[in-house]
Structure 1
C-alpha cells in the first residue's frame, strides 16, 4: 500500500504535487521525490497529520504606535522653502562630433 499524504488544507480536493490527486485532504503515492517534497512543504505523510499553526492574535488598532520613516511630506506651494524656487540650470552645450560618418557611396 502506498503512503498517504495529508494536505495542509483540511478536506482539500484537487491536484497536488507530482500529479497526485487529493480527495478529502488525502492522496496516495509511492514516488519518493513527491514524498520528500511533501515532507519539506508541510504535508503529512502516512499517519502524520500536518501541523496547523495557530493564527496570530488580532491586533487592536488603538494600541499601534505610528513610526515616521523618512522625511515628512510637504506641499511646496503651501509651505515654500527658500531653495524650492531656484532657477533651472542649463546643460552644457553639445560639442560637435569628431567621428567620421560614412557616406552613402561607401
Structure 2
C-alpha cells in the first residue's frame, strides 16, 4: 500500500507556501517608501531639536504663547509666529539659519 499525501485547501488552490504570505509588489514599494519617508522625517526632527537644544542651552532662543500664537525670538530678533509650538520652532530654525 502506498502512502498518499493529502493537500491542504491552500495547496490545492495554489495559495499555500511562503509566496502566499508575500505582499503584492505595489504594497512592498509603498512600504519601502513609507519607511524611507519615516527615516527622513526622524532625521529632520533630530536635527531640529538638536538646534533647539543648543539655542536653549546658549540662551539664544525665547518663545512666548499669547493670543493663541507662539512667538519665537532668536538672538533678540523675532523670527517666527505660528499657532503651534512645533511649527513656530521649525520656522524659526529655517529663518535664522
Q: TM-score range, shorter-chain basis? A: under 0.3
TM-score (norm 1): 0.19
Larger Rg: 1
Larger % of helix: which?
A: 2
TM-score (norm 2): 0.20
Larger % of strand: which?
A: 2
Greater RCO (CA < 8 Å, at least 6 residues apart):
1
